[in-house]
Structure 1
């Protein structure tokens, strides 16, 4: 298994490393990456079809976030430069057609990693959250859903490999910055969004330290993969 650490200065160069993980998985070698991507608003294909898409891109840019259109569906996701992202690449030679199982496996791993560093999280998300989906984690309250969304998870599937990826909101300041830019972006897209729906790992009782969160989630993803061995590769600078 390959474990990548670090980020590149540009969005395109940074994304190339994750694309390499997927390509390697097609050759039978799984991979894991947990990192903080460059500051951006990543729009989905659904966003690009909205009448307000061009305006939404201008809004993001004026707020200091580089607009970027990713090649999958879903709605806009923002990264402040402190927001964590994780990606798990999975060969499909023995895992074909098990989309829900891959979602469940990765979601359990991320939740386990967060709980291992003291965060109380639950499955699900509040209404009108960013990039809504069926596979999200939110701030927990005594084991019950209660607070804002702190993780969203999506999956890209090819004939030979899958990439299960998502974002993690670490600190309260990170959540506040995301709420501010996404409120304007979603308004331009005319998509319902509640800025109060964003939570954070710190709000869930975990650390506001992105490095500690990254290592905890990374370890959990590696453990869940049942890899016989793994090797860490530095592909860019880590911001901590």
Structure 2
């Protein structure tokens, strides 16, 4: 399975129209599609962007001043939510492309590294189409650090997290394509200063903004959100994917209920990363 998504699968590219408002809607969408995949629906890849948001990890929700820090972000115009997957705080804006792979796992196997390798293979092949050589491995000083940080020239462009259900799973990635990576790093660092009450000895990422970069910065002026998404979709099509909305897509009522569930379960009291 490593490096490929079982065909046939659907590629839903929503990146042309960036999302606004509640940041939990795309996570609710993927959560519902994951339930459906566990019941036999075809695999699904979701590509999307958001206008202005901060997505927190479950570990962030447990920081001593987190309620004030979340309110501080909202006062500065950011949509704020806690995702139901691993990792830590991530800054989203129109220059960041988000990718979710939703796949069934009927045997219930816990192949964490295989699942991360799948996303890494997708990003690596897509970067190669733009003339960039992607490496994996934690980048010290980056935000949302992890073993599967994806970097070019030692600077992080992409982070990966995972959400598992009983019979299916989701692998998420954010890719800094355009915009100001340094400013995103400063924002996340400032968030942690507020959330910890200035006690940076707590178990939080020690963010050094200069460790982050964008594809446009490292790949030259020809690299944009559009050209990256074209490369990404091209890779997925070569793997057997079909562009279009999944026939089992959830209704708005289902989405609204799931958003409320995610907020009550994770925004207020943390929770489990698996079901």
The TM-score by the shorter chain falls in which range? 0.7 to 0.9
- Between 101-110 and 158-167, report the one with greater CA deviation: 101-110
Structure 1 residue 211 corresponds to structure 2 residue 218: no
Match of 2:242 in 1: 230
Structure (1/2) with the larger strand percentage: 1
Q: Tell me, yes or no, if the aligned pair for 1:56 and 1:184 is still in contact at 8 Å.
A: no
> What do the CA deviations read for 1:118-171 (whole angstroms, capped 9, x no partner)?
22322124212111111110122xxxxx2x210001111111101011100012
Structure 2 residue runs of 5 or longer lacking an equivalent are 1-8, 250-275
Match of 2:167 in 1: 160
> What do the CA deviations read for 1:11-69 (whole angstroms, capped 9, x no partner)?
23333332233123213310011221342111111111111212321332233222211
> What do the CA deviations read for 1:83-115 (whole angstroms, capped 9, x no partner)?
110000111126723221121122011111111
Selected match of 2:184 from 175, 178, 183:
178
- Between 58-67 and 40-49, report the one with greater CA deviation: 58-67
Q: Number of paired residues?
A: 225
TM-score, normalised with respect to structure 1 = 0.83
- Paired with 1:70 and 1:131, the residues of 2 have a C-alpha distance of 13
Deviation of 1:70 after TM superposition, in Å, equals 1.6
Q: Tell me, yes or no, if the aligned pair for 2:139 and 2:149 is still in contact at 8 Å.
A: no
Structure 1 residue 102 corresponds to structure 2 residue 102: no
Structure 1 segment 10-49 matched on structure 2, within 5 A: 10=21, 11-28=23-40, 29-49=42-62
SS of the residue corresponding to residue 217 of structure 2 reads coil
Structure 1 residue runs of 5 or longer lacking an equivalent are 141-145, 236-240
Q: Tell me, yes or no, if the aligned pair for 1:121 and 1:204 is still in contact at 8 Å.
A: no
Match of 1:150 in 2: 157
Q: Tell me, yes or no, if the aligned pair for 1:41 and 1:79 is still in contact at 8 Å.
A: yes
Deviation of 1:222 after TM superposition, in Å, equals 4.7
Q: 1:54 to 1:95 in 2, by over 3 A?
A: closer
Match of 1:220 in 2: 235
> What do the CA deviations read for 1:199-220 (whole angstroms, capped 9, x no partner)?
1112331644112212212332
Q: 1:203 to 1:98 in 2, by over 3 A?
A: same
Deviation of 1:80 after TM superposition, in Å, equals 1.4
Q: Tell me, yes or no, if the aligned pair for 2:58 and 2:87 is still in contact at 8 Å.
A: yes
Q: Tell me, yes or no, if the aligned pair for 1:38 and 1:80 is still in contact at 8 Å.
A: yes
Structure 1 residue 9 corresponds to structure 2 residue 16: no
- Paired with 1:123 and 1:40, the residues of 2 have a C-alpha distance of 25
Q: 1:119 to 1:63 in 2, by over 3 A?
A: farther
The structure whose Rg is larger is 2
- Paired with 2:243 and 2:124, the residues of 1 have a C-alpha distance of 23
- Paired with 2:194 and 2:108, the residues of 1 have a C-alpha distance of 40
Q: CA RMSD in A?
A: 2.3
- Paired with 1:93 and 1:71, the residues of 2 have a C-alpha distance of 21
